[in-house]
Amino acid sequence: MTVKNLQDLLDEGVDGRHVLVRSDFNVPLNDAGEITDAGRITASLPTLNALLEGSAKVIVMAHLGRPKGEVNAKYSLQPVADALSDELGQFVALAGDVSGEDAHERANGLTEGEILLLENVRFDPRETSKDEAEREAFAAELVDLAADDGAFVSDGFGVVHRAQASVYDVAKRLPAYAGALVGAEMEELTKVASDPDHPYVVVLGGSKVSDKLGVIEALADKADKLIIGGGMCYTFLTAQGHNTQKSLLQEEMVDTCKDLLERFGDKIVLPVDLVSAPEFSNDVETTVTDVDGMPEDWLSLDIGPESVKKFAEVIATSKTVFWNGPMGVFEMENFSQGTAGVAQAIIDATRNNGSFTVVGGGDSAASVRVLGLDEDGFSHISTGGGASLELLEGKELPGLAVLND
């Protein structure tokens, strides 16, 4: 897919023009409302800096959480505005609304090289509406903020798989360009999706088999090995006949896992030991057992050290690795070692094998930073979990397709 990019826009000139930018600032917050992983904010800086240096009047659209179409202070973008101010070295004002009077007044008052952040676009129910007319009406209001000489830059890779007003419908109304982040994501992920070097190892984790079924089906023929950990592994282990006690289980997916094991069993690699506890807590005793040795009524919250070793041996043979999903509840120290060990094995493959290694966004990308791992040890860390998976599945992503129209 060939689309106009940020450099094309800069070459055309942005001096004094209003440029609407769709960024992905869906960052995690703690109970105090503080950002705990600013990776997506950092990833947005090249595009924003380039536009500001080109003397554009920048208006940024983004969402945070799932406010369900209602104004909710818990999901305000104020923490993002504060973080952006620090990162950009200039004040980033937050509009008091999304496309209303305050947003218009502030947009009209922008001067060259200034930036405005609109309030959470998902405060307006039309952003995610299934009714195309409702989305288009909201998009028209957003486009009005950009005046007659406006342009649109799509730079929120984490949302390009959604046909939402600020992602899709705005792009149909303005000259549209791929931002630096979206361009880099497309380039790096296409290497994995189209022609990966072999051996090609896919590492999947996360909680639900149903969330990853599409990518398993799509990659099973392309990959040499599919390593499965995280909450989803317990459904596969149950399908093999193991008793995983009270571990997370999608009962309705057991038969599906049996079918996958029958068709791709020689490629699927599952844990051989587990770390379990009597309850979902970091403050209780833990034990490591093989997959049949879990204490009655306990639940597993991580893969064990032998599983890490087994997975690492497979990863060590790779030339391409795609990883999406943690191996356990990495946010709790007692259940973080599986994710840390597998991530380190991927880093080792990058450095020792020259493997092309991609972290597929979401919790995987967050775990790299939370666990203090070397981000430079991976070839690419994606900002979009769902988007990266759908791109690898071969699905058309609306937010990218519209840039090609």
Q: Is 304 annotated as a binding residue?
A: no
Q: Is 23 annotated as a binding residue?
A: no
For the question of residue 362 being annotated catalytic, the response is yes
Q: Which of 156, 231, 386, 399 is catalytic?
A: 386
Q: In terms of Cα–Cα distance, which of 204, 244, 240, 197 is closest to 379?
A: 197
Q: Is 24 annotated as a binding residue?
A: yes
Q: Is 40 annotated as a binding residue?
A: yes
Q: Is 190 helix (H, G, I), strand (E, B) or coil?
A: helix
Q: Is 26 annotated as a binding residue?
A: yes
CB 308 within 8 A of CB 274: no
For the question of residue 399 being annotated catalytic, the response is no
Q: Is 101 annotated as a binding residue?
A: no
Q: Is 106 annotated as a binding residue?
A: no
Cα(237)–Cα(393) distance, integer angstroms: 24
In the numeric block, the tokens 């051989």 are attached to 272
Q: Is 230 annotated as a binding residue?
A: no
Q: Which of 17, 22, 40, 57 is catalytic?
A: 40
Q: Is 212 annotated as a binding residue?
A: yes
Q: Is 363 annotated as a binding residue?
A: yes
Q: Is 400 annotated as a binding residue?
A: no
Please give the order of strands across the beta sheet that includes 57-61: 93-94, 115-117, 57-61, 18-22, 151-154, 176-178
Q: Is 65 annotated as a binding residue?
A: yes
Cα(67)–Cα(38) distance, integer angstroms: 20
Q: Please list the helix, strand and coil fractions of the chain in percent, rounded to the nearest 5, in that order.
A: 45, 15, 40
How far CA 5 is from CA of 9, 185, 211, 296, 388, in Å, comes to 7, 13, 31, 57, 19
Two tokens, residue 30: 């703690």
Q: Which of 205, 341, 360, 362 is catalytic?
A: 362
Q: In terms of Cα–Cα distance, which of 269, 332, 324 is closest to 299?
A: 332
Q: Is 322 helix (H, G, I), strand (E, B) or coil?
A: strand
Q: Which of 173, 191, 208, 246 is catalytic?
A: 208
Q: Is 262 annotated as a binding residue?
A: no
For the question of residue 33 being annotated catalytic, the response is no
Q: What is the largest CA-CA distance in the chain?
A: 68
Known binding residues for ATP are 212, 331, 361-364
- Residues tagged in the binding site annotation for (2R)-3-phosphoglycerate: 40, 122, 162
Summarize the annotated binding site for substrate as residue ranges: 24-26, 40, 63-66, 122, 162
Which residues does the annotation mark as catalytic? Answer: 40, 208, 362, 386
Binding residues: 24-26, 40, 63-66, 122, 162, 212, 331, 361-364
